[in-house]
């Protein structure tokens, strides 16, 4: 059994490397993101997933060789769901007063998930790690007493401070409340309010989002609830978000099938016939389960038969042993 486990680990290392390979396919047909997703799923595996710099380089080389410099859809998308820190969902929860002059929320560098208010009453989305003053409240959601916290904190720091010393960061339900909050913001400053959203970055094929290569510009959200990802040769492969309704060429991917022959050396009791059909099936299932437990999926295991139809051969003893 010890040798069996060693063999399983060997299989795991091999298939971890080979099972994640992707082949990219550029499609020079202008579709919206959803249509492109459907096309890729019908003809390949899905819209392109990119999980490391090497995959990005491979994808961009393919698009470049096709002579296309425009934006192309990839499988990335971002769901937009604004929420209030204190959980308020009642009447007025969808009130917004964005600074439309600067096209906010503009999601610069795909890194702005928290909201602050300026001394003119307009709202901006900003990186949650930036430091600003904040507006807390005490009392109740429906009858709040506003409090300015003059110490500059990150959004999560401000939330923690408000919850420990008051109730929470303030929620804003209408123009009247917005003007009251505006009056507390220091001149030429901005203050955190309770509006925020989770990153919610996803790949179309369900892969976990980790690697990112963002363009430093704006990703104008407006009133959209989903925005979709593009890349471009002209931006050296950097990513940004556009309205999913735009019509663009796109990149699909298909998994690369890799065949790996692994020789196993197992030690068993003399009475055990490893070529017994039931035992071979049991061993194969065990290997499959062990690989899956190690996060290695989409792998098909088959026994390789020798010329005599047997899978396992008894090892001959060396002379002098």
Same domain, 44 and 183: no
User: Of the residues 152, 170, 196, which one is the last residue of a structural domain?
Assistant: 196
Q: Is residue 224 part of a domain?
A: yes
Residue 26, domain extent: 22-79+200-255
Strand-pair partners of 255 = 22
Determine the Cα–Cα distance for residues 40 and 46; give it in Å rounded to an integer.
5
Alpha helices in the chain (DSSP H): 2-18, 33-43, 53-65, 155-165, 175-182, 277-293
The Cα–Cα gap between 98 and 156 comes to 21
CATH classification of the domain holding 64? 3.10.100.10
What is the full DSSP assignment across 4-21? HHHHHHHHHHHHHHHTT-
pLDDT over threshold 80, residue 320: no
Q: Do residue 190 and residue 247 come from a single domain?
A: no
- Over residues 93-128, the pLDDT tens digits come to 999 999 999 999 999 999 999 999 999 999 999 999
Which whole number is the average pLDDT over 123-134? Answer: 98
Assess whether 105 and 123 both reside in one domain: yes
Tokens of 138: 């005490």
Does this model's pTM top 0.75?
yes
Same domain, 92 and 65: no
- Is 181 found in the same domain as 217? no
Mean pLDDT, rounded, for 127-146? 97
pLDDT band at 10 (very low <50, low <70, confident <90, very high): very low
Q: Which of helix, strand or coil describes residue 296?
A: coil
185 preceded by cis ω (within 30°)?
no
Share of the chain above pLDDT 70, in %: 81
Convert the pLDDT of each residue in 246-304 to its tens digit.
999 999 999 976 666 666 666 666 666 767 777 777 777 777 777 667 655 556 777 77
pLDDT of residue 204: 98
pLDDT tens column, 174-215: 999 999 999 999 999 999 999 999 999 999 999 999 999 999
Is 280 among the domain residues? Answer: no
Residues 212 and 114 in one domain: no
Please indicate, yes or no, if residue 211 is contained in any of the structural domains: yes
Tell me the two tokens of residue 101: 């002059």
Same domain, 157 and 129: yes
For residue 282, the model assigns a pLDDT of 76
Per-residue pLDDT tens over the stretch 143-162: 999 999 999 999 999 999 99
Domain boundary among 161, 196, 231: 196
Same domain flag for 151 and 207: no
Supply the pLDDT for residue 285. 79
In a domain, 61, yes or no: yes
Q: Could you tell me if 109 and 187 lie in one domain?
A: yes
- The reported pLDDT for the residue numbered 277 is 78
Q: Are residues 93 and 167 in the same domain?
A: yes
The more confidently predicted of residues 308 and 63 is 63
Same domain? 69 vs 212: yes
Q: Which of 196, 228, 246 is the last residue of a domain?
A: 196
The count of structural domains within the chain is 2
Whether 208 is in a domain gets the answer yes
In a domain, 212, yes or no: yes
- Indicate if 87 and 184 belong to the same structural domain: yes
What was the pLDDT predicted at 17?
A: 40
CB 143 within 8 A of CB 88: no
Measured at the CA of 266, the angle between CA 263 and CA 272, to 5 degrees, comes to 130
């Amino acid at each position: 059994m010890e040798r069996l486990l060693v063999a399983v680990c060997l299989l795991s290392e091999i298939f971890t490397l080979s099972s994640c390979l992707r082949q990219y396919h550029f499609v020079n047909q202008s579709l919206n993101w959803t249509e492109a997703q459907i096309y890729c799923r019908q003809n390949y595996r899905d819209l392109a997933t990119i999980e490391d710099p090497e995959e990005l380089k491979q994808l961009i080389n393919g698009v470049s060789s096709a002579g296309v410099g425009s934006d192309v859809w990839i499988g990335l998308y971002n769901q937009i769901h604004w929420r209030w820190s204190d959980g308020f969902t009642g009447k007025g929860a969808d009130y917004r007063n964005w600074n439309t002059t600067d096209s906010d929320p503009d999601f610069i560098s795909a890194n702005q998930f928290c909201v602050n208010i300026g001394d003119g009453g307009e709202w901006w989305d900003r990186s949650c790690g930036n430091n600003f003053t904040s507006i807390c409240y005490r009392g109740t959601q429906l009858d709040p007493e506003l409090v300015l916290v003059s110490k500059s904190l990150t959004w999560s720091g401000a939330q923690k401070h408000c919850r420990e010393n008051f109730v929470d960061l303030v929620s804003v339900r209408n123009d009247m409340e917005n003007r009251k909050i505006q009056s507390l913001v220091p001149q030429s400053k901005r203050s955190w309010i309770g509006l925020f959203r989770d990153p919610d970055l996803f790949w179309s094929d369900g892969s976990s989002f980790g690697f990112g290569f963002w363009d430093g510009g704006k990703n104008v959200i407006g009133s959209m609830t989903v925005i979709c990802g593009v890349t471009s040769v002209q931006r050296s492969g950097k990513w940004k978000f556009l309205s999913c309704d735009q019509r663009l060429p796109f990149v699909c991917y298909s998994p690369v099938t890799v065949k790996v022959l692994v020789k196993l050396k197992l030690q068993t009791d003399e009475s055990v016939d490893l070529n017994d059909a039931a035992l071979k099936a049991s061993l194969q299932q065990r290997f499959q389960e062990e690989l899956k437990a190690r996060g290695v999926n989409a792998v098909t295991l088959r026994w390789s038969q020798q010329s005599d139809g047997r899978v396992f051969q008894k090892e001959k003893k060396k002379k002098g042993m």
